[in-house]
């Protein structure tokens, strides 16, 4: 994906679109609708939204059951603590009808500045980058008809696969942005409290989905969605929190332990505590690094000739295949 952006810009593209590869019901007119705000109306970013109803059942589970309740839970916390900077980002994300859609268009001036996550958090990280760097984002109703993607397994017992893996990546990506980029201070109990608030909000949302499904004559398994919230997505939030905060808790407990036993005094005098804190700082840097690209702006800065090199490779491929 990242390389294709560079090729498109090298070939003179003024706007570049990205469409999920697993769409089963894609039509050309949808591409026209997606590009229209950028090409015709002079927006610098557009993102698609659409219905996730198939076979008379509600889909879009990660958006409905994880992301929306999580953002609403964060909004409650930040409203109570009056953290206006965090609230502005959360409100921006909540303003999108389908934050996890993979169908987007960038004006090239914006695309050059963008970084991209290389895990399941790519869509939420892209929106966070747009929040920081775009002046005029737009949303496009991509399709009046239900939109069908390949559906992922939940993978309740395996955090490395399916919706379980997707949920952990989304939460860690979002929290990384809040902590590192926005300066959020998180306490030892932050994720535990967040998980409790999230579950309450998610259960409120599920009741609304159940009522909507009943009114619209759609199939909806309320019990299973409550199970997903309680036993999968809530645990995903706690797992992400454990990943991000456990080194600090371990350091605090270890320092308390060695300072309370006189046997460690000779080692403390030789700098044991300072060494532990130094290692903690290194761990912090690695923990809050998640897989992402640099921007093409940085690439051009380091490799000024790369556009010409990319064009040459494209021309060689044309000759080879002609």
pLDDT at 108 over 70: yes
**Least-confidence region, from 20-34, 44-58, 111-125:** 20-34
Phi/psi zone of residue 236: left (φ > 0), alpha (ψ -120 to 50 degrees), beta?
Answer: alpha
- 3-state SS assignment for residue 189: coil
Domain that holds residue 21: 2-321
pLDDT at 158 over 70: yes
Q: Residue 154: its pLDDT value, please? A: 80
Q: Residue 281: its pLDDT value, please? A: 65
CATH of the domain at 43: 3.90.550
**Would you place residue 93 in the very low, low, confident or very high pLDDT band (cuts 50, 70, 90)?**
very high
Q: Report the predicted TM-score, pTM, of the whole model to 2 decimal places.
A: 0.85
What angle (nearest 5°) sits at the alpha carbon of residue 109, between those of residues 40 and 128? 95
pLDDT at 135 over 80: yes
**Per the structure, how many domains does the chain have?**
1
Q: What average pLDDT does range 18-33 have in this prediction?
A: 84
Residues 6+ apart with CB under 8 A from 16: 5, 8, 9, 105, 106, 108, 111
């Amino acid at each position: 994906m990242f390389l294709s952006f560079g090729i498109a810009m090298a070939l003179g593209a003024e706007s570049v679109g990205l469409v999920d590869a697993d769409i089963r019901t894609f039509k050309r007119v949808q591409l026209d609708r997606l590009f229209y705000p950028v090409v015709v109306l002079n927006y610098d970013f557009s993102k698609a939204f659409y219905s996730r109803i198939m076979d008379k059942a509600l889909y879009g589970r990660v958006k409905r059951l994880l992301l929306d309740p999580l953002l609403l839970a964060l909004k409650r916390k930040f409203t109570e603590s009056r953290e206006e900077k965090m609230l502005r980002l959360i409100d921006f994300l909540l303003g999108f009808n389908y934050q996890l859609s993979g169908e987007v268009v960038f004006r090239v001036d914006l695309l050059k500045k963008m970084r991209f996550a290389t895990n399941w958090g790519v869509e939420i990280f892209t929106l966070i980058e747009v929040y920081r760097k775009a002046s005029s984002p737009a949303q496009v109703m991509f399709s009046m008809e239900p939109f069908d993607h390949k559906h992922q397994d939940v993978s309740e017992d395996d955090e490395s696969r399916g919706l379980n893996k997707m949920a952990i990546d989304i939460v860690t990506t979002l929290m990384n942005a809040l902590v590192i980029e926005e300066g959020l201070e998180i306490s030892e109990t932050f994720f535990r409290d967040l998980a409790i608030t999230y579950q309450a909000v998610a259960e409120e949302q599920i009741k609304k989905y159940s009522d909507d499904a009943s009114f619209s004559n759609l199939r909806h398994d309320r019990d299973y969605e409550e199970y997903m919230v309680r036993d999968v997505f809530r645990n995903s939030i706690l797992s992400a929190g454990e990943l991000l905060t456990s080194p600090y808790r371990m350091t605090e407990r270890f320092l308390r332990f060695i300072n309370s036993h006189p046997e460690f005094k000779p080692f403390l005098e030789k700098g044991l505590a300072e060494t532990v804190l130094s290692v903690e700082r290194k761990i912090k840097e690695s923990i809050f690094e998640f897989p992402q690209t640099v921007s093409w702006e940085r690439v051009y800065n380091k490799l000024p000739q790369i556009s010409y090199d990319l064009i040459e490779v494209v021309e060689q491929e044309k000759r080879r295949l002609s």
